[in-house]
């Protein structure tokens, strides 16, 4: 089969085979854009390379050579030609873009002969040596794996000797000297000279790109973004163009719109007389793209047109890489641009208004998980701040944390639960683990498209970059802004929306939701089929839920209401009661309080359904811990000054001991409490109906749903249903009103799922409690699994995802499907929802749509995410 494609043989939809970069280079070539000619070695070859135990398929290099002939012809230069050499870049490119995670080598094909040829052909020795120097440095890093800093040291020493501060100030002679020193270094490290044969260089470089698929940072990145490790990378070999031949040359990156705000203006940065990596590496702070208009008006016009054309072609905001060689524009990359949530929403909305895309396309363009970012609190503009400096607003959101200068340290402290801000001159892909651990990123160099900025935006992390006033001294672990010194460990804040760097922490306020955001969610509501409810235990939560667009409450947990300081004494009395009367007495105090709780929530929801779950957790959760009581009783025994209190505590201790369970998760909890102490559930049921009746009297609409947790059998349901109906009748008679109510059950144990057809004879609704259902189906106790063996299960790929985050479709999902079918066979149209944490996780929402649930319920802040995910599932 074919291992290598010339650019014109590919297409944009061949990303799996050619990688994103290769497929888009192909597409651009075929649209007729100025792309330097090249070829793509497929991802299949990479997979084959690993299958063969890190060996090339036999005919690979033969094919590469053949394709190279075509490229030579197109470029009018020959690879290895001492007169006018063709140089190539060797670029990685996987199916999903992983910016900067894998390796690229530029200027390949240079050696002692070709460098002279290049110097002569371009009449520019300085340029030729600069290209050679860069090549040796990149090749040694990526292919030979000699530590970078050894080369940087040589470069820095030469600059110092020459008394210059920028690379481009070095003369041809100095560069020649650097090359000699580089080569000596390679000889010393490798015990062989730097490879001179271009074909050998190319072979080694291709292999290095394959290897880079499995470097540490690429693996971390893929884990973070849930990209499969099996995809492999393609390799692009492309004829070089040069942005570093003089002042009519340059290189840059741009977005067709602002990736931070979404504003519709060409947005980007460039450097004159520079080569590729210089812009992203943050070595010199680049110029805003608008300046190009003044410097090279014709090129700017052409670039603008190209950008617009690509955006229309891909129907999405593009992220472009380009190089200008002697006033001629070349396109080197395009891809759908990564963007903040704010930008995603605005771009999607604007593109619909501009007639570029449909509403459905717009809905698919926003990642539901991203919306989270918009709901988070921001710096209150009205509060005075101690602003220390200002950088570029690279990724919005505010973050506070202690200053840390090193990625490893950030990771260490972050793992220990500390909030840190990673402060660097610039970041490199090697810092990825520190970026993950930090609250936010602050850099002193580099622009909006620098590595730090791109990665932070991808993760939705606040970032301020290019804060040049900040002078970092890594050795002393401080940074200075003017006379102010900030030490490692000091608390600072950044505001990624404005670029401000602030001393100390900051006050945050609720975000304002944009018109674009609200409109997109409304479009979503028009196409989605799933209902979206929220889990809310208080009227405040219920209000938030309504604000975010919830159409009901899917789960009100009543246990939180038992925890309040005014209630706990009565709850404890109820637990300690030895007789029914004593228990009734305690419950009579709790009844009005519960009634008040339900009144507040039902009122807030204005007739939207409110599903209230009766008491669920084991009773010991309402009592002090054994340890606590042992300490207290021992102290009281020693001091002997309060015998009454001692007696009380000893009683409590006895009760706690008697309630002790070996496995509380599977112990005396859920409706088992209601079976053994029916009066507790009866109190709760009465409280729900009293509240409902009062509201109806006041002219409010109510729709209470009484939910029985942890059932396993229809007999349990019958037991409660009988009581529910009796109490409802009593309350309605007492208040002289009537209202509609339903009763149903959670499905959270495998037996309930299996017997769903029977349960549905009595239950009028089901709600999947997938937290418990996951625990009991897998036999994993969540708290014991996470942080212990689950990590190993994920690393060993026994499980693909954490089943407590992403619903386990294969196992838990199978039970759910069966329960849905069973339930609806008995009771057609049975209302079924989900209220576990999965209800707000996009992939799980999709699954709920697929198995025809009626609603998902999640925490109020995740309601917008669920709304969008439900819309996407329906498209
Ligand atoms: P990454 O995936 O890290 O962005 P790329 O393969 O895109 O790596 O290469 C990084 C940069 O190197 C490009 O943005 C471009 O500026 C430069 N580059 C790559 N190939 C060429 C080429 N053929 N000619 C000139 N510059 C190139
Ligand atoms: Mg690139
Ligand atoms: Mg449960």
Cβ atoms of 788 and 746 closer than 8 Å: no
Q: Which atom of ligand 1 is nearest to the CA of 239?
A: 23
Q: Which of 34, 35, 106, 110 to mutate to test the pocket of ligand 1 (most atoms within 8 A of CB)?
A: 106
Q: Determine contact, residues 183/136, Cβ cutoff 8 Å.
A: yes
Q: How far is the CA of 254 from the centre of ligand 1 (A)?
A: 13
pLDDT at 150 over 70: yes
Which H or E element spans position 708?
A: strand 704-708
Whether the Cβ atoms of residue 805 and residue 782 lie closer than 8 Å to each other: no
What is the distance in A from the centroid of ligand 1 to the CA of 508? 40
Distance CA 846, CA 233 (A): 29
Q: Report how far residue 112's alpha carbon sits from residue 89's, in angstroms, rounded to the nearest whole number.
A: 18
Least distant ligand from the CA of 710? 3
Percent residues over pLDDT 70 in the chain: 99
Q: Which residues pair with 250 in a beta bridge?
A: 272, 324
Spell out which residues line ligand 1, taking CB within 6 angstroms.
36, 89, 91, 99-100, 104, 106, 238-241, 251, 276-277, 321, 323, 332-333
Q: Give the per-residue pLDDT at 378.
A: 77
pLDDT in tens, 338-377: 998 889 999 999 999 999 999 999 999 999 988 877 876 6
Residues 269, 351 contacting (CB under 8 angstroms): no
CA–centroid distance, residue 836 to ligand 3 (Å): 8
Quote the pLDDT of residue 395: 84
Between 62-66, 380-384, 387-391, 581-585, the lowest mean confidence (pLDDT) is in 380-384
Can you tell me the distance from the alpha carbon of 494 to that of 505, in angstroms, rounded to the nearest whole number? 9
The DSSP bridge pattern shows strands 508-509 and 378-379 to be antiparallel
Considering the domain 250-336, what is its CATH architecture? Answer: 2-Layer Sandwich (3.30)
Query: What is the spatial distance between Cα 708 and Cα 716, in angstroms, rounded to a whole number?
Result: 9
| Nearest-CA residue for atom 11 of ligand 1 | 276
Cβ pair 334, 323 in contact under 8 A: no
Contact between 534 and 554 under an 8 Å Cβ cutoff? The reply is yes
- Cβ count near 436 (within 10 Å): 19
Annotated binding site for Mg(2+): 748, 772
pLDDT score recorded for residue 379: 81
Q: Which atom of ligand 1 is nearest to the CA of 92?
A: 6
Those residues with Cβ within 8 angstroms of residue 597's Cβ, 6 or more apart along the chain or in another chain: 538, 558, 561, 687, 691
Strand bridging mode 508-509 / 500-503? unpaired
pLDDT above 80: residue 667: yes
* Owner of token pair 């990156």: 253
Pocket test of ligand 1: the residue of 75, 89, 217, 318 to mutate, having most ligand atoms within 8 Å of its CB, is 89
Q: What is the DSSP letter of 785?
A: I
Q: What is the 499 CA–ligand 1 centroid distance (Å)?
A: 28
Q: What contacts 58, CB < 8 A, 6 or more positions away?
A: none
783: which 2 tokens?
Answer: 């708290």
Q: What is the 3-state secondary structure (H, E, C) of 290-357?
A: HHHHHHCHHHHHHHHHHHHHHHHHHCCCEEEEEEEECCEEEEEEEEECCCCHHHHHHHHHHHHHCCCC
Ligand 1, atom 26, residue with closest C-alpha: 276
Ligand nearest to the CA of 106: 1
Q: How many CA atoms lie within 13 A of 565 on its CB side?
A: 0
Atom of ligand 1 nearest to the CA of 253: 14
Rounded to the nearest angstrom, the distance between the alpha carbon of 670 and the centre of ligand 3 is 8
Whether the Cβ atoms of residue 400 and residue 443 lie closer than 8 Å to each other: no
Distance from C-alpha of 536 to C-alpha of 60, rounded to nearest angstrom:
60
Q: Has residue 764 got a pLDDT over 60?
A: yes
Known catalytic residues? Answer: 451, 835
Element spanning 554, H or E: strand 553-557
Percent helix, strand, coil in the chain (nearest 5)? 50, 15, 30
Under CATH, what is the fold of the domain 528-618+661-874? TIM Barrel (3.20.20)
Q: What is the pLDDT of residue 458?
A: 66
Q: Do domains 250-336 and 377-509 have the same CATH topology?
A: no
> Directed axis angle between helix 539-547 and helix 580-605, to 10°?
30
- The whole-number pLDDT of residue 376 equals 66
Domain formed by 377-509, architecture: 3-Layer(bba) Sandwich (3.50)
Domain ranges of the chain: 4-239, 250-336, 377-509, 528-618+661-874, 623-660
Secondary structure tally for the chain: helices H, strands E: 35, 33
**Which ligand minimizes its atom distance to the CA of 253?**
1
pLDDT at position 459 is 73
Residue 515 CA, ligand 3 centroid: distance in Å: 38
pLDDT of residue 311: 97
Q: Which of 769, 587, 538, 568 is nearest to 670 (CA)?
A: 769
Mean of pLDDT values over 839-867: 95
Mean pLDDT of 306-327: 97
Predicted confidence band of residue 15 (pLDDT cuts 50, 70, 90):
very high
* Under 8 Å between Cβ of 467 and 391: yes
CA atoms in the 13 A half-sphere facing the CB of 826: 19
Instruction: Give tens-digit pLDDT for 672-731.
Output: 999 999 999 999 999 999 999 999 999 999 999 999 999 999 999 999 999 999 999 999
CATH number of 4-239: 3.30.1490.20
Contact 88, 203 (CB under 8 A): no
Confirm if 822 and 502 have CB atoms less than 8 A apart.
no
The DSSP annotation for 858-873 comes to E-GGGHHHHHHHHHHH
Looking up tokens 């609190």, which residue turns up?
377
CA distance 361 to 190: 53
Q: Tokens 């094909």 map to which residue? A: 109
Do the Cβ atoms of 89 and 106 come closer than 8 Å? yes
What's the CA gap between 173 and 313, in Å, rounded?
47
CA 250 – CA 278 distance, rounded (Å): 10
| Predicted pLDDT at 561 | 84
Would the pLDDT of 450 be above 90?
no
52 C-alpha to center of ligand 1: Å? 29
pLDDT level of residue 188 (50, 70, 90 thresholds): very high
Measured by CA distance, the residue closest to atom 17 of ligand 1 is 276
347 in Cβ contact with 363 (< 8 Å): no
pLDDT of residue 283: 65
d(CA 84, CA 115): 9
Ligand lying closest to the C-alpha of residue 782: 3
- Record the tokens describing residue 822, joined without a space: 């069973």
Give the position, in ligand 1's atom list, of the atom nearest the Cα of 333.
7
Torsion sign over Cα 338, 340, 341, 346: negative
Confidence check: pLDDT of 281 > 70: no
* Parallel, antiparallel or unpaired: strands 831-834 and 765-768: parallel
- CA dist., res. 416 & res. 728, Å (int): 52
**Spatial separation of the C-alpha atoms in residues 734 and 530, rounded to whole Å:** 37
Give the residue ranges of DSSP H helices in 429-547: 432-437, 451-459, 515-527, 539-547
- Counting from 1 in the atom list of ligand 1, the atom nearest the Cα of 97 is 2
Task: Write out the two tokens for 763.
Answer: 């239950």
Cα distance between residue 464 and residue 260, in whole Å: 12
Say how far apart CA 93 and CA 10 lie, in whole Å: 14
Residue 700: partners with Cβ closer than 8 Å, 6 or more residues away: 602, 603, 606, 607
Nearest CA to ligand 1 atom 8: 104
Nearest residue (by CA) to ligand 1, atom 15, is: 276
Which residue's alpha carbon is at the smallest distance from atom 22 of ligand 1? 240
The token pair that represents 802 in the structure block? 């954490």
E strand intervals along 23-75: 38-41
pLDDT recorded at residue 316: 97
- Ligand 2 centre distance from Cα of residue 618 (Å): 56
**What pLDDT score does 280 carry?**
62
Ligand 2 centroid – CA 317 distance (Å):
16
Q: How far is CA 854 from the centre of its chain?
A: 28
pLDDT confidence of residue 845: 98
Q: Which ligand is nearest to the CA of 708?
A: 3
Report the chain's mean pLDDT, rounded to a whole number.
93
Indicate the annotated binding residues for substrate: 557, 613, 748, 769-772
Residue by residue, what is the 3-state secondary structure of 396-449? CCEEEEEEECCHHHHHHHHHCCCCEEEEECCCCHHHHHHHHHCCEEEECCCCCC
Site to probe by mutation for ligand 1, drawn from 104, 274, 282 as the one with most ligand atoms within 8 Å of Cβ, is 104
Q: Give the position of tokens 């080197």.
A: 332
Least confident stretch, 5-14, 176-185, 186-195, 536-545: 536-545
Checking if the pLDDT of 528 tops 70, the result is yes
Contact 604, 543 (CB under 8 A): yes
User: What is the tens place of the pLDDT at every residue in 82-110?
Assistant: 999 999 999 999 999 887 777 889 999 99
Distance CA 201, CA 192 (A): 14
The yes-or-no verdict on residue 511 having pLDDT over 80 is no
Q: Kindly report which listed range (111-115, 315-319, 508-512) carries the lowest average pLDDT score.
A: 508-512
Q: Which ligand 1 atom sits closest to the C-alpha of 100?
A: 3
> Could you tell me the pLDDT band of residue 282, with boundaries at 50, 70 and 90?
low
Ligand 1 pocket mutation pick from 88, 130, 321 by most atoms within 8 angstroms of CB: 321
Contact 24, 5 (CB under 8 A): no
**Mutation probe of ligand 1 site: the residue of 28, 77, 91, 238 with most atoms within 8 A of C-beta:** 91
Q: Is 355 left (phi over 0), alpha (psi -120 to 50) or beta?
A: left
Nearest atom within ligand 1 for CA of residue 238: 23
Looking at all shown ligands, the one closest to residue 837's CA atom is 3
**What was the pLDDT predicted at 167?**
83
For residues 783 and 768, what is the distance between their CA atoms, to the nearest angstrom? 20
pLDDT at 243 over 90: yes
For tokens 């995910």, name the residue. 869
Could you tell me if 653 and 629 are in contact, meaning their C-beta atoms sit under 8 angstroms apart? yes
CA–centroid distance, residue 494 to ligand 1 (Å): 31
Q: Is the pLDDT higher at 633 or at 165?
A: 633
Residue 555 to residue 557: CA distance in whole angstroms: 6
Atom of ligand 1 nearest to the CA of 38: 23
> Binding site: what residues are annotated?
557, 613, 748, 769-772
Distance in Å, CA 451 to ligand 3 centroid: 44
Report yes or no: 421 and 400 within 8 Å, Cβ to Cβ.
Answer: yes
User: Would you give the distance in Å from CA 768 to the centre of its chain?
Assistant: 26
Position in ligand 1 atom list of the atom nearest CA 93: 2
Neighbours of 336 (CB within 10 A): 16
Q: Which of 119-128, 205-214, 392-401, 801-810 has the lowest mean pLDDT?
A: 392-401
């Amino acid at each position: 089969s074919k291992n290598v494609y010339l650019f014109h043989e590919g297409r944009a939809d061949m990303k799996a085979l050619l990688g994103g970069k290769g497929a888009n280079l192909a597409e651009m070539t075929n649209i007729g854009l100025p792309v330097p000619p090249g070829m793509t070695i497929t991802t299949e070859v990479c997979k084959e390379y690993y299958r063969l135990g890190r060996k090339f398929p036999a005919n690979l290099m033969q094919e590469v050579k053949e394709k190279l002939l075509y490229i030579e012809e197109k470029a009018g230069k020959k690879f290895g030609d001492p007169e006018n050499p063709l140089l190539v870049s060797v670029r990685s490119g996987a199916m999903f873009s992983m910016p900067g995670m894998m390796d690229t080598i530029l200027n390949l094909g240079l050696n002692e002969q070709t460098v002279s040829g290049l110097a002569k052909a371009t009449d520019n020795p300085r340029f030729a040596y600069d290209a050679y120097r860069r090549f040796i440095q990149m090749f040694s890093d990526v292919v030979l794996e000699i530590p970078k800093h050894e080369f940087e040291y040589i470069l820095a020493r030469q600059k110092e000797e020459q008394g210059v501060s920028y690379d481009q100030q070095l003369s041809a002679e100095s560069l020649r000297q650097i090359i000699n020193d580089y080569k000596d270094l390679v000889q010393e490290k490798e015990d062989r000279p730097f490879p001179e044969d271009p074909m050998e260089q190319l072979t080694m470089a291709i292999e290095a790109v394959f290897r880079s698929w499995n470097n540490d940072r690429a693996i971390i990145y893929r884990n973070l973004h849930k990209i499969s490790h099996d995809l492999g990378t393609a390799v692009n070999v492309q004829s070089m163009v040069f942005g570093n031949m003089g002042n009519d040359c340059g290189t840059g990156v741009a977005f067709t719109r602002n990736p931070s705000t979404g504003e519709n203006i060409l947005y980007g940065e460039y450097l004159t007389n520079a080569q590729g990596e210089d812009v992203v590496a943050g070595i010199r702070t680049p110029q805003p793209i608008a300046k190009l208009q003044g410097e090279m008006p014709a090129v700017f016009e052409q670039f603008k047109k190209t950008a617009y054309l690509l955006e229309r072609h891909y129907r999405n905001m593009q992220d472009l890489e380009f190089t200008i060689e002697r006033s001629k524009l070349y396109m080197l990359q395009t891809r759908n641009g990564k963007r903040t949530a704010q930008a995603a929403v605005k771009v999607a909305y604007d593109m619909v208004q501009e007639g570029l895309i449909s509403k459905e396309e717009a809905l698919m363009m926003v990642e539901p998980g991203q919306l989270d970012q918009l709901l988070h609190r921001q710096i209150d503009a009205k509060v005075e701040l101690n602003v220390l400096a200002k950088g570029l607003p690279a990724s919005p959101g505010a973050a506070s944390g202690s200053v840390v200068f090193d990625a490893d340290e950030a990771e260490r402290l972050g793992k220990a639960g500390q909030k840190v801000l990673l402060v660097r001159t610039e970041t490199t892909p090697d810092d990825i683990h520190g970026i993950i651990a930090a609250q936010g990123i602050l850099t002193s160099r580099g622009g909006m498209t620098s590595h730090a900025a791109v990665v932070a935006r991808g993760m939705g992390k606040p970032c301020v970059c290019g804060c040049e006033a900040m002078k970092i001294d890594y050795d002393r672990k401080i940074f200075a802004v003017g006379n102010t010194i900030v030490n490692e460990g000091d608390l600072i804040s950044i505001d990624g929306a404005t670029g401000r760097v602030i001393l100390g922490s900051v006050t945050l306020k609720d975000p304002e939701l944009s018109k674009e955001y609200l409109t997109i969610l409304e479009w979503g509501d028009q196409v989605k089929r799933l209902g979206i409810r929220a889990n809310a235990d208080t009227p405040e939560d219920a209000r938030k839920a309504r604000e975010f667009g919830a159409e009901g409450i899917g789960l009100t947990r009543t246990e939180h209401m038992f925890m309040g300081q005014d209630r706990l004494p009565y709850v404890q009395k109820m637990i300690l009661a030895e007789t029914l009367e004593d228990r009734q007495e305690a419950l009579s105090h709790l009844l009005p309080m519960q009634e008040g709780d339900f009144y507040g929530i039902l009122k807030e929801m204005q007739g939207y359904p409110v599903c209230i779950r009766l008491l669920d957790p084991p009773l010991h959760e309402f009592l002090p811990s054994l340890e606590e009581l042992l300490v207290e009783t021992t102290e009281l025994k020693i001091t002997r000054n309060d015998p009454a209190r001692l007696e009380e505590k000893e009683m409590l201790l006895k009760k706690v001991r008697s309630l002790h369970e070996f496995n509380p998760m599977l112990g005396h909890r859920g409706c088992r409490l209601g079976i053994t102490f029916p009066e507790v559930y009866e109190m709760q049921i009465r409280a729900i109906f009293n509240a409902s009746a009062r509201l109806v009297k006041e002219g409010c609409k109510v729709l209470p749903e009484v939910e029985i947790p942890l059932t396993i059998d229809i007999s349990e349901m019958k037991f409660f249903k009988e009581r529910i109906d009796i109490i409802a009748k009593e309350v309605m008679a007492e208040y002289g009103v009537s209202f509609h109510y339903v009763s149903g059950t959670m499905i959270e144990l495998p037996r309930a799922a299996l017997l769903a057809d029977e349960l549905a004879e009595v239950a009028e609704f089901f709600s999947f409690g997938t937290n418990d259902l996951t625990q009991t189906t897998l036999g994993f106790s969540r708290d014991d699994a996470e942080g212990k063996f689950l990590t190993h299960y994920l690393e060993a790929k026994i499980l693909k995802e954490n089943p407590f985050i992403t619903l386990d479709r294969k196992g838990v999902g199978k039970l759910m499907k069966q329960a849905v079918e069973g339930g609806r066979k008995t009771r057609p149209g049975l209302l079924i929802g989900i209220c576990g944490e999965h209800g707000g996780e996009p992939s799980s929402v999709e699954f709920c749509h697929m198995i025809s649930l009626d609603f998902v319920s999640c925490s109020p802040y995740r309601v917008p995410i669920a709304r969008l995910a439900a819309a996407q599932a329906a498209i």
